[in-house]
Amino acid sequence: MPPTPRELGFRMPAEWQPHESTWLAWPHDPVTWPDRVPIVEERYIEMIRALTPHERVDLLVKDDNVQSKVADRLRDEKIKNVALHRIPTADSWIRDYGPNFLKREQKNKVEIGYNRWIFNAWGNKYDALLPDDGIPERLPTIQSLERFAPGIVMEGGSIEVDGAGTVLTTEQCLLNKNRNPKLTITQIEQKLRDHLGVTQVLWLKDGIEGDDTDGHIDDIARFTDEDTIVAAVEKDESDANHKPLRDNLAALQAMKNAVGKPYHVIELPMPERVDADDGRLPASYANFYIANKVVLLPIFGAKADKKAEAVLKSLFPSRKIVPIRCEDVVWGMGTIHCLSQQQPAAD
């Protein structure tokens, strides 16, 4: 068998560590965002405007017409530091189908590699989105990097690392029979250790109501440094999210890092519920994205928006918190973290 990333010295760095770029895929699917694609495009422009002073944005566009349209818009907005890649996509959730980047530091030399997980559209829920499984092979700028194929179904939004030996995930997602039904929990944990370069796997139970990804971690709990976890909480006892988030909070408060030290657990409020025509949407402030010098925070025109912003300001004092209105974005069943993927810096 070929050596694993861990055996070769690769690991998944924490999101707050320096980036080379942020990968995005320009929104275009009217099924994902019914009557909302133009609004979501505006939110992308806001995201790109906030990111590009500090790192490159690698942006996938589905065809020549979209590439020309986006190039014109960026020029009009005087936004630079964007690389456009004409690569067809079924949808924009590059966190889940894109490359999972790794880093190796040896003898004053830094190398970047990536995991190419299998993407099955969150348990074969959306046949039209299955073609996005092949996106990592279509990204020309990463083909010279070391590539690893773990051979299992995995999405980037289901894993969260502290950069110091720990990955956090959920039983609802990774142990779901619609992902890897033939693997035991022991085998899944070994895959994570081998391909993320971690020494321990920490498990929460369930995600939030309305989440079609079966409980992705990036809607409920996030590392903000090696010692700190921010945890989504719902104070309203009548809300369906109250109990699972309360249980997750208690579990997090009992967890220790890879060297046996308890984490600092900080509570992050949930917004008021956001509904689509057919039910609740997975609106969560925990779906923020940590970039070079900025943190992009999804907000929802809710009473708790300012409180969530204040929590993140206290946790990221050296970064600017940039709120992005996501009431329309979340109609696609995710927001900023789900739509982005970081590529770590090689220097």
Catalytic residues: 338
Contact 150, 115 (CB under 8 A): yes
Token readout for 113 is 């590699």
Q: In terms of residues, how long is the chain?
A: 347
Q: Where are the alpha helices (DSSP H) in the chain?
A: 37-51, 64-76, 94-97, 121-124, 135-138, 171-174, 185-196, 242-253, 305-315
What is the distance between the alpha carbons of residues 139 and 156, in angstroms, rounded to a whole number? 17
Q: Give exposure, 31-52, as e/b (b: 16+ Cβ within 10 Å).
A: ebbeebeeebbebbeebbebbb
What is the distance between the alpha carbons of residues 41 and 191, in angstroms, rounded to a whole number? 36
Contact 189, 154 (CB under 8 A): no
Contact 16, 290 (CB under 8 A): yes
Contact 269, 310 (CB under 8 A): no
Q: Which residues, listed in sequence order, are joined to residue 104 by a DSSP beta bridge?
A: 111
Amino acid at 254: A
Residue 288 CB partners (closer than 8 Å, separation 6+): 222, 295, 296, 297, 298, 312, 336, 337
Q: Which of 311, 216, 204 is nearest to 253 (CA)?
A: 204
Residue 100: enclosing H or E segment and its boundaries? Answer: strand 100-106
What is the distance between the alpha carbons of residues 240 and 320, in angstroms, rounded to a whole number? 32
